[in-house]
Amino acid sequence: MTTTLITNIASLVTNDPAQGDGTPLGLLTDAAVVLDGEKIAWVGPADKAPAADETYDAEGRAAIPGFVDSHSHLVFAGDRTQEFNARMSGRPYSAGGIRTTVAATRAATDEELEANVTHYLAEALRQGTTTFETKSGYGLTTRDEARALRIAARHTDEVTFLGAHIVPPDHADDPAAYVELVTGEMLDACAPHARWIDVFCEKGAFDGDQARAILTAGKAKGLHPRIHANQLSYGPGVQLAVELDAASADHCTHLTDADVDALAQGDTVATLLPGAEFSTRAEWPDARRLLDAGATVALSTDCNPGSSFTSSMPFCIALAVRDMGMTPDEAIWSATAGGARALRRTDIGVIREGARADLALLDAPSHVHLAYRPGVPLVGEVWQRGSRRVTAER
């Protein structure tokens, strides 16, 4: 196996509190990293670095762990440009919402869906995302949900069954029958292809009892729960997530004090998705309140063609700092280590001996620039599983 020394890193976010300045970011200056195959073999001061087969000069740039995007919806077809344009232009538009994407996704070929996933993943990788979770949820039939999961599983281990995204039009008259389908035949067909099960717990989608039934059925089939919770209104989602030991409660825009307490006490991560609030002009989730209460916060893109069509983790960091009360350090931790917690992973989101060799070099001297220079594509080189996958045009 070839070893690679990346040296002359002005500032390195390790997310290992045993390193550097003793903060959660474990910040090292004048640092180096040695990669050995798909793993990190050594991390420390550049002047103490061991020899390696190859050397890469970071030229005084900053490095961070690759982003862990723990919430995306990439198996879809079509886009919703006209709906977005009308909404932002104040023009009436009979928006089909998720249903529009469901119809397009059902009509698409496997090859079209696969090409879409590949396209958006490459786009995310160029922006520093080395791990992503993605979901079904635009099929909503046994065949189409299982197909989406099979396609997703070719690209990531973090695959989530979201048959309970909405009640599809073909079941509008009998939601109970749809819940029965999701927890029965559809779950049987989907469980082998997924690690996670998710529910959109919201007025107009699935209520607390339905969500509990679906997640409990999923757990019985070996899937681990996560929940779309408290996005558009107050509701039972967050507390249900903690009760069921879900890895993550996602959105968390409308929280009572009891919701915040539950997150602070439990092991469920609060995953905030500022791209959704940005693109729908909605109220921001209050990250500061969650952090001050002691909850663990992750940041993710929610990349989907309806409510948040961004694949940019740096953009989410900039929003979290500007509008959600996070410091730059907290936002970068949440977009890397926080995402790893939301996926219950210890091998990613961290630059430490034995961890996966996933890291991004920034065209900037510090990680703070991800918030300080909003919108600027600062991610230069990206290593994923030890391979250099992106090379900056400099």
Kindly list the residues in this chain that would bind a copy of itself in the complex (CB under 8 A): 79, 81, 84-85, 88-90, 123, 126-127, 275, 278-279, 281, 309-312, 314-316, 318, 321-322, 327-329, 363, 365-366, 368-369, 371-377, 390-391, 393
Instruction: State both tokens at 8.
Output: 């002359």
Comparing CB distances to a copy of itself, the nearer of 79 and 207 is: 79
Smallest distance from the beta carbon of 16 to a copy of itself, in angstroms? Answer: 21
Comparing CB distances to a copy of itself, the nearer of 181 and 319 is: 319
Smallest distance from the beta carbon of 336 to a copy of itself, in angstroms? Answer: 17
Comparing CB distances to a copy of itself, the nearer of 141 and 327 is: 327
In one-letter notation, the amino acid at residue 312 is: S
Comparing CB distances to a copy of itself, the nearer of 161 and 333 is: 333
Comparing CB distances to a copy of itself, the nearer of 250 and 381 is: 381
* Alpha carbon distance 357, 385 (integer Å): 5
Comparing CB distances to a copy of itself, the nearer of 305 and 338 is: 305
Smallest distance from the beta carbon of 73 to a copy of itself, in angstroms? Answer: 14
Comparing CB distances to a copy of itself, the nearer of 48 and 281 is: 281
In one-letter notation, the amino acid at residue 145 is: E
Smallest distance from the beta carbon of 46 to a copy of itself, in angstroms? Answer: 21
Smallest distance from the beta carbon of 119 to a copy of itself, in angstroms? Answer: 9
Smallest distance from the beta carbon of 330 to a copy of itself, in angstroms? Answer: 9
Cβ neighbours of residue 194 closer than 8 Å, sequence gap 6 or more: 136, 149, 153, 159, 160, 161, 223
Comparing CB distances to a copy of itself, the nearer of 42 and 372 is: 372
Smallest distance from the beta carbon of 108 to a copy of itself, in angstroms? Answer: 16
Smallest distance from the beta carbon of 74 to a copy of itself, in angstroms? Answer: 13
Q: How many CB atoms lie within 10 A of CB 12?
A: 30
Smallest distance from the beta carbon of 69 to a copy of itself, in angstroms? Answer: 13
- Point out which residues pair with 298 in neighbouring strands: 271
Smallest distance from the beta carbon of 84 to a copy of itself, in angstroms? Answer: 5
Comparing CB distances to a copy of itself, the nearer of 39 and 126 is: 126
* Alpha carbon distance 213, 195 (integer Å): 18
Comparing CB distances to a copy of itself, the nearer of 30 and 363 is: 363
Contact 334, 326 (CB under 8 A): yes
* Alpha carbon distance 21, 343 (integer Å): 26
Residue identified by tokens 């529910």 is 199
